[in-house]
Structure 1
Amino acid sequence: MAEKVPADWMGSLGPGLSALPLANLAIPGSHDSFSFWVDEESPIGADQAASVRRLARIALVKKLIKKWSVTQSLTFKEQLESGIRYFDLRVSSRADEAGEEIYFLHGLFGMKVRDGLTAINTFLRHHGREVVFLDFNHFYAMTHGHHTRLIDMLQEIFGSKLGTAEHVENVTLQSLWKKGVQVLVFYHSGLSRECAFLWPGRTMPAPWANTTSVQELLRFLESALSERSKLSTFHVSQAILTPRLHTVLRGFKAGLKDTLVHRNLPIILSWIKSQKPGIKGVNIITSDFVELVDFAEAVIGLNNLLLEDETPTAQS
């Protein structure tokens, strides 16, 4: 059984690591982080093709979409307690509701964004040296009013914990601790220019392999890392496989976890364990179903390689 990752693992890092740029550290993240719960009774989201939305009038189709929309089993609280610090967030309004409420979305609607952010903030209140990355990278059916509501919500919930956007290479755990900052928000919208605590989406690139082949995925991840040193940004290695229509049809009853994830995660984990963090190496790594293997432990453990670089060679 994998050793439990301390809920305060960032706060426990020594000065050799906490003084390094966060972009140089290995940090575990989750893909479609909110999808541990989706509402089978909700309408099909705007992230799906019109043809899928029409088919969803058939009850069985919604059950199928749910099986392939859920990519996590752990709640936000459980993910945080297991070491996850990067969250992949996709949000939307609901056409069947009046008002400005905003929900998480992956095929079907998930929980209200406010409830998810509040759960994250509750964890941070009790773990004052932990830092999270909130990556709002997909927006659906969002008017300017919805964006304004979401930005106000972030400020209301996190307050002084929010970190102002700055040069990525200047951001270390030590610098954030001094300022009491625990939340970095990445906002893939031009509205990021209107608010100091919204980091532009370009500072958090997350290239996507879009493949069902684990070998093709690993080649893609390596290629993306080879380009990384040219950019002064954070970097997300999306260590995930993406189902195609034929994948869904073949695994109709099984769903994503049993069809793609279970059999390929050990191979992906081996690749992770062979990596090294740093400006030319891995930074944030995301996975589906983060609890299935010792994913978070393996990613966090890579940081020990950076300490080895600082160990002086013994004199003969």
Structure 2
Amino acid sequence: MGKRGSNTLLVSGEKGTGRAREKERESAHSRLAQAPVLEKRSSVRGGSMASSHGRSDVRFADWMASLPQSMHTIPLTNLAIPGSHDSFSFYIDEASPVGPEQPETVQNFVSVFGTVAKKLMRKWLATQTMNFNSQLEAGIRFFDLRISTKPRDPDNELFFAHGLFSATVREGLEQISNFLSAHAREVVFLDFNHFYGVQNLHHEKLVAMLKEVFGEKLCPVVFAQEVTLQYLWEKEYQVLVFYHHPMALEVPFLWPGQMMPSPWANTTDPEKLVQFLQASVTDRRRKGTFFVSQVVLTPKASTVMKGVASGLRETITERALPGMMQWIRSQRPGESGINIITADFVELGEFISAVITLNYHLDDDEDDAT
């Protein structure tokens, strides 16, 4: 299985409707639940995790519930599902230390240049502008999650992190759970694929947290082909957790990471990315698993240096957007087609609506076949 995309800087190389009536957690009144939705084009800034600096003009808060009945019994492995890359990176805490996964070159860079270095890092590490709730309201259903501890943290708290730290994992999970309680027929995929400085006690803490936050929303592991919307609605499950660690073998609701392969192109070249994406879909050998197509370009150190003050969005993502959207619109979901598609800055280029619309070609293809 390929690695997830990385934007490392300066590195070489009660169930059902009953749940909706439950009393909301205290977090509903926290900074997370009160996230403002600001202008679509504004830049990524510091602030609380509640901050959502981007916006999708189209809302697909209930797009799964709205799919035609003919799609309710199709395995979710065969549907087109929009996802976000580094889903938590809309909030990056510049006051935090550098992540433990970062190489010595980055550690030294920050130790010398301090806050200035972290501001530059944020421009290249932030791949999203919408917070979890805004992403969900816009239609995102797959979340790419990386977990880290902070060095010398006596509380052993768990954070989302990539290069620099984001908010606590609990804050993010509670925001997602609140959305699901209000949208009982929507389903999310949580892909925990990187762990930094995480020991067994931290994994146990995270598993307990998932149970506490999501409870009976959690879907236990079954054959992937059994997982249809109809199946999930009948069981009143809404959350599939994929866990890229041996701990997955010990917990009934943790789906092994190999059930969510996600090949990574690791290129800054849009043409090479499209070639890689097409070859990966064509070569989708693991029948019976979910599958992620990362429509993501990864900057090299030289790319960062050339556009150091501009950042990822302006230097790479926006320029490559037309070609990326053309590839997405040319795809079809299915056992040998695309499944989950992830991107940076998911509000751009009608990405979310383009992916969701692919599902309606399933009916078109069946009509053509008859």
Same fold, TM exceeding 0.5? yes
Of 257, 264, 284, the match for 2:320: 264
1:305 corresponds in structure 2 to 361
Structure 1 Cα separation of the partners of residues 200 and 60 of structure 2 = 40
Question: 1:73-122 CA deviation, whole Å, 9 max, x = no partner?
Answer: 00000000000000000000101421221000011000000000000000
Question: 1:16-67 CA deviation, whole Å, 9 max, x = no partner?
Answer: 1111000000000000000000111111102211221122112222111111
For 1:109, the aligned partner's letter is F
2:239 corresponds in structure 1 to 183
2:100 corresponds in structure 1 to 46
Aligned-residue Cα RMSD (Å) equals 1.4
1:16 corresponds in structure 2 to 70
Q: Aligned to 2:94, what secondary structure does the other structure show?
A: coil
Structure 1 Cα separation of the partners of residues 303 and 368 of structure 2 = 51
- Please state how far the C-alpha of 1:310 moved relative to its aligned partner: 2.7
1:26 corresponds in structure 2 to 80
Structure 2 Cα separation of the partners of residues 214 and 301 of structure 1 = 23
1:145 corresponds in structure 2 to 201
Give structure 2 stretches of 5+ with no counterpart.
1-39, 41-55
Of 267, 277, 292, the match for 1:211: 267
Percent identity, aligned pairs only?
Answer: 50
For 1:74, the aligned partner's letter is M
For 2:78, the aligned partner's letter is N
The answer to whether residue 174 in structure 2 is matched with residue 118 in structure 1 is yes
- Whether the 8 Å contact between 2:287 and 2:335 is mirrored in structure 1 is no
Q: Aligned to 1:261, what secondary structure does the other structure show?
A: helix
Residues 277-316 of structure 1 mapped to structure 2, 5 A cutoff: 277-311=333-367
1:81 corresponds in structure 2 to 137
Structure 2 Cα separation of the partners of residues 313 and 297 of structure 1 = 25
- Please state how far the C-alpha of 1:3 moved relative to its aligned partner: 7.0
Q: Aligned to 1:211, what secondary structure does the other structure show?
A: coil
> Number of residue pairs matched?
314
- Please state how far the C-alpha of 1:313 moved relative to its aligned partner: 6.9
- Whether the 8 Å contact between 1:229 and 1:279 is mirrored in structure 2 is no
TM (norm. structure 1) is 0.97
1:241 corresponds in structure 2 to 297
**Residue 313 to residue 279, structure 1, CA distance change in 2 (3 Å):** closer
- Whether the 8 Å contact between 2:333 and 2:362 is mirrored in structure 1 is yes
- Please state how far the C-alpha of 1:312 moved relative to its aligned partner: 6.8
1:133 corresponds in structure 2 to 189
- Whether the 8 Å contact between 2:100 and 2:151 is mirrored in structure 1 is no
- Please state how far the C-alpha of 1:5 moved relative to its aligned partner: 3.7
TM (norm. structure 2) is 0.83
Structure 2 Cα separation of the partners of residues 100 and 118 of structure 1 = 19
1:169 corresponds in structure 2 to 225
Structure 1 Cα separation of the partners of residues 152 and 104 of structure 2 = 16
Question: 1:231-266 CA deviation, whole Å, 9 max, x = no partner?
Answer: 321000000000000000000100101100111112
- Whether the 8 Å contact between 1:29 and 1:84 is mirrored in structure 2 is yes
Structure 2 Cα separation of the partners of residues 22 and 299 of structure 1 = 14
- Whether the 8 Å contact between 1:5 and 1:296 is mirrored in structure 2 is no
Structure 2 Cα separation of the partners of residues 5 and 74 of structure 1 = 13
Structure 1 Cα separation of the partners of residues 72 and 315 of structure 2 = 39
**Residue 61 to residue 167, structure 1, CA distance change in 2 (3 Å):** same
Q: Aligned to 2:365, what secondary structure does the other structure show?
A: helix
For 1:44, the aligned partner's letter is V
Give structure 1 stretches of 5+ with no counterpart.
none
- Whether the 8 Å contact between 2:157 and 2:168 is mirrored in structure 1 is yes
